[in-house]
Amino acid sequence: MRPIMRRRRSIFDIMREYMEEFERAAEEALSAFEQPSWDLETQSLQPLFNISVTAEEVVITADLPYADPKTLKIESVDEDLIEITAKMRVKLRFEDLGVSHREGEFSSFHCRVPLPVPVDASRAKASFKRGILEVRLPRRRGYKIKVE
Amino acid sequence: MSETVRIVERREVPTDAKMIHGLPDVGLVGVIAVSQIISQLKMVEVAYVDSDLLPPVIVLHEGLPHSPIRIFSNDNLLALISEIAIPASSLQPLMRAIVNWMDEKGVETAISLGGIATPNRQNIESPKVYGVGSNELSLKILREKGISVMERGFLVGPQALILQYCAEKNIAAISLLAQAFYNYPDPEAAAAVIDTLNQIVKVPVNVSDLLEKGEEVRLRMRDIMRRTQSELVRMRKSQEYDIPHYYVA
């Protein structure tokens, strides 16, 4: 029986796929602008967050002013999506922010962050300093290409 | 003045004034700093920017509509501030019109307040402030005040354009740039830049108030920061990280 030949993906295929995934994530992030950055139902605010990808890891940071560090939760929703939640030390009403034509108050932060590349979540590390959360997720390794 | 941008004066504008600029950029440093200065010095609106190049937005204050880009005054100090992220594609005509207007008004010195994105900002207790000048006089002012001059590198965005257009007209312009978060509002960097500004122009502003209210400022600035982020990408702000190539004198 002839062995099944599977075409090995070149480095260019991997780069192209990576860029396509990254562009998709960027488009998703941009489309979020058309939604409010708050949710009255869950009384939560969407924090500012940032994703950067290095050769070794994915680094996610989130700006969480007023967050109570003891309530911070970072959970995996899916292989390529993590959820960050935190309760705030204060309750904020629209009125406190100078908005008089809306009603409601906020007491937590909530966001879902898409992971642009596969990671090994079991080796992830997180820190919270000066109101900024930093999560470092090592990238999952694929295969090595031997240089002839 | 450019046809697509009008600067509408509402009150008498002082001549030979010093003018500070707070435009949305990394860490919203300039916007936070200038907003603090306008509020504490109780500056009054003297002019506003009207342009078809801006999104169809008005800002309501005490129930009345205002342009999102306005100029305030107090004695011999003018302050320009934007309350919205400025579309990257509109920056050139807008900044050129503002510099032309400064030239007409005989502005003596223009000082743009802003930030310089610093990747390890989280580990910096006291952000350092660097200065850039449009001409020899501006560089002399910076050196006399002991402000570190950014000698080489790239600048991208509103401050870069103001420096370039002021250089063309030989207006003394300075950019004061504090180490800042790229995409998080940075009130500590704004306080550092106000402290440095005080070495050039005396602005009796209490920065401890700004530092105490840091968390509130960061929360209030979330939405403008979010919109500024996408404009920073469009203007290729990351080019500021690039190392300059061969030396060209």
- Residue A21 predicted with pLDDT over 60: yes
What are chain B's domains? 14-237 (3.40.50.10900)
As a whole number, mean pLDDT of residues A50-63 equals 94
User: Cβ contacts of residue B125 below 8 Å, gap of 6+?
Assistant: none
Chain A contact residues (CB < 8 Å to B): 30, 33, 37, 45, 47-48, 50, 61, 63, 65-66, 92, 97, 129-132, 134
Query: Is the separation of the CB atoms in A112 and A32 below 8 Å?
Result: no
**In which order are the strands placed within the sheet that holds A125-129?**
A48-53, A57-63, A132-138, A125-129
Residue-wise burial string across B26-37, b where 16 or more C-beta atoms lie within 10 A, e elsewhere = bbbbbbbbbbbb
Mean pLDDT (whole number) for A21-45: 75
- Spatial distance between the Cα atoms of B60 and B178, rounded to a whole number of angstroms: 30
pLDDT for A141:
81
Could you tell me the two tokens for B189?
């960097």
**In the structure, what pLDDT confidence band is assigned to residue A15 with cuts at 50, 70 and 90?**
low
B239 vs B181: CA distance, rounded Å = 16
For residue range B141-170, list pLDDT tens digits in order: 999 999 999 998 999 999 999 999 999 999
Mean pLDDT over all residues of chain B?
A: 94
Tens-digit pLDDT profile for residues A100-119: 899 999 999 999 999 999 99
Domain boundaries, chain A: 11-138
Identify the pLDDT of residue B1.
Answer: 47
Better-scored residue on pLDDT, B33 or B206: B33
State whether A65 and B214 contact (CB < 8 Å): yes
Residue of B nearest to A131 (CA): B215
pLDDT of residue A43: 94
Whether B222 sits inside 8 A of A30 (CB atoms) is no
Give the pairing type, strands A44-45 and A132-138: unpaired
| Residue from B103, B91, B236, B78 nearest B169 by CA | B103
CA nearest to B231 within chain A: A30
| CATH 3.30.950.10 describes domain A11-138 | no
Here the tokens at position B226 are 């979010």
pLDDT value at B111 more than 50? yes
- pLDDT bin (cut points 50, 70, 90) of residue A121 is confident
pLDDT tens readout for residues A67-82: 999 999 999 888 899 9
Percentage of chain B beyond pLDDT 70 is 98
What is d(CA B69, CA B95) in angstroms, rounded to the nearest whole number? Answer: 12
